[in-house]
Structure 1
Amino acid sequence: MTTAMPFDLDATLLPAVTAVVKNAGVTLRERYPAHARGVSLEEVVAEIHANDDAVLAVMREPLLKARPGSQWEEDELAGGALPPGEWWIVDPAEGNINHVHGMPDWAVTATLVRDNRPVLTVVHLPLTGDTYTATAGGGAQLNGCPLSVSAKRDLSAALIGTGQARPGESADTFRRIGASVTAMLTAGLVVRVSVPATLQLIHVAAGRMDAFWQFSDVRSGLVAGALLVTEAGGTVTDLDGKPWSVAGRDVLAAAPHVHTAALDVLSSI
């Protein structure tokens, strides 16, 4: 008699999680405006919270039921290590700021983290219908087809991305973002500065972009993409070159042949 390995169990769970995330995507798509909503900061924030509340209402209970004994991380903008066990880290509207401004770059994500290691993720883009999935040890897929990171070997030919994780970052973080963009504009071919992180990380996993970095520990924007990039053959570290973890302060996800060169540019900033 053989015992199922954890990744086998996660692969079995994946269809149920995918169904929950796609269903949540219907809710978020129905709330998508044809033009920007909200004028004042208070109105914009209210729209963001309304999106979160509407989508979480159709995600939370089904995900907890799908994995009995799992726990729910409440704070979407939190960082750092989690207590032991299994936790759902969900972003009901990843790229919420884009959604409420009538822009297309947003998604619904759900990631299962086991003992501070992402082991299963689903990222669904309701406007295109595309769904990115990965399980630890089981590879990364787009609509069921395997993903593979870029084969680029020269950073000077690389398309690279970054962005901020949240409004109101510290002055030092904004300084580092600016300095790092300047450095990468010199070292790489093109640099994209945009949000959200997950939608750049899926491009790295799919080989469309070659690297992404961010000075942040916001878990909800990183765990899904970190697993997708890793399972697509990429390298994901912090900016000291150590393997990235949920407790990390920053991240660099890149195609393996340009990772070292990108790290050399960023590590001293």
Structure 2
Amino acid sequence: MSSEEQLLTVVTAAVRTAANLVTRPATTPTTMPELAAALAANDDAVSAALRPVLIGALPGSQWTSDEHGSGPMPDGDWWVVDPVGGNMNAVQGMPDWNIGVSLVRDGRPVLAVLHMPVAGETFTAIAGQGATADGVPLKVSAKTDLTLALTGTGQARPGREADRADRAGVAVAAMMRNALYVRASVPVGHQLAQVAAGRMDVHWQFDNLRSHIAPVLIVQESGGVVTDFDGKPWAVTSDGYLAAAPGVHAAALDVLRAVR
């Protein structure tokens, strides 16, 4: 077993255990302080459980749980953790939430785990070795017609900036005119996992946050094409990205390039 495979085994077990710490408040928050406290409680509990295990499994590695961080990363081994992707959903009692972990080495993703506790699925990937869901190899959709494609996007980070909202709306409308279906939801990791599994065909984001690294690697290792909106290969430093099955990527890129 390679060192990456050993790490993946440790991370997968730790993530599954940490998921049991995510809770829903006794009453749904109705004020911003209540909501912030509930979100922080989940993030803090998961981070406290994962951090010592991950750092201990790879001596000398470093940690970041700033899921809204973006841009270049320092050299070395970094555990990039999204403690509760879709935390708002968990707090509200909805099933779409996950825990995501990636290992980034010198700015490049090495491995990824995305665990969806309610769905009972764990997606994993090692760079260059493929991706699986609970041990079953993943493969993206074989579709070649965008008009038959299930597509999606979501709000990668909170915000009400008018220009960002307008751009997102224009892109959704454009894709609705060209694809079979458009889903706008969070967390982003859920949609990317569906692309990796061939259940959805396209996902795009005008943001490229560190919390996306794990599911993007899973899509790539499932045979998906992930680029920026100029068609260049995705990188941690890309401004945004399109992740899609190879047969519909070019058509989807044409739609989004015109409205980005």
Return the TM-score normalized by structure 2. Answer: 0.96
Q: Deviations over 1:147-191 (max 9, x none)?
A: 000000000000000011111153322111011000000010000
1:246 aligns with 2:240: no
| Partner residue, 2:215 | 225
The CA deviation at 1:89 is: 0.7
Aligned to 2:252, the other structure's residue is in SS state helix
**Shift in CA distance, 72/38, structure 1 to aligned 2, threshold 3 Å:** same
| Partner residue, 1:58 | 49
Provide the aligned length of Structure 1 versus Structure 2: 259
| Partner residue, 1:46 | 37
| Partner residue, 1:26 | 20
Aligned to 1:208, the other structure's residue is in SS state coil
Of 131, 138, 154, 1:140 maps to 131
| Partner residue, 2:10 | 16
| Partner residue, 1:67 | 58
The CA deviation at 1:32 is: 3.5
Provide the C-alpha distance between the structure 2 equivalents of 1:36 and 1:216, rounded to a whole number of angstroms: 32
The CA deviation at 1:36 is: 6.2
Provide the C-alpha distance between the structure 1 equivalents of 2:208 and 2:123, rounded to a whole number of angstroms: 22
Q: How does 1:1-269 map to 2 (within 5 A)?
A: 8-28=2-22, 31-32=23-24, 37-168=28-159, 170-220=161-211, 222-269=212-259
Note the residue ranges of structure 1 that are not aligned, 5 or more in a row.
none
Aligned to 1:87, the other structure's residue is in SS state strand
Contact 1:214 1:251 (C-alpha < 8 Å) held by counterparts: yes
Provide the C-alpha distance between the structure 2 equivalents of 1:74 and 1:103, rounded to a whole number of angstroms: 23
Provide the C-alpha distance between the structure 2 equivalents of 1:83 and 1:170, rounded to a whole number of angstroms: 30
Alignment RMSD (CA, Å): 1.4
Provide the C-alpha distance between the structure 2 equivalents of 1:156 and 1:137, rounded to a whole number of angstroms: 31
Contact 2:65 2:82 (C-alpha < 8 Å) held by counterparts: no
Contact 1:20 1:62 (C-alpha < 8 Å) held by counterparts: yes
Contact 1:133 1:141 (C-alpha < 8 Å) held by counterparts: yes
**Shift in CA distance, 169/224, structure 1 to aligned 2, threshold 3 Å:** farther
Aligned to 1:191, the other structure's residue is in SS state strand
Q: Deviations over 1:192-248 (max 9, x none)?
A: 00001000000000000000001102211x101110000000000111111111111
Provide the C-alpha distance between the structure 2 equivalents of 1:81 and 1:124, rounded to a whole number of angstroms: 25
Return the TM-score normalized by structure 1. Answer: 0.93
Contact 1:90 1:110 (C-alpha < 8 Å) held by counterparts: yes
Contact 2:47 2:65 (C-alpha < 8 Å) held by counterparts: no
Note the residue ranges of structure 2 that are not aligned, 5 or more in a row.
none
The CA deviation at 1:136 is: 0.3
> Percent identity among equivalent residues?
53
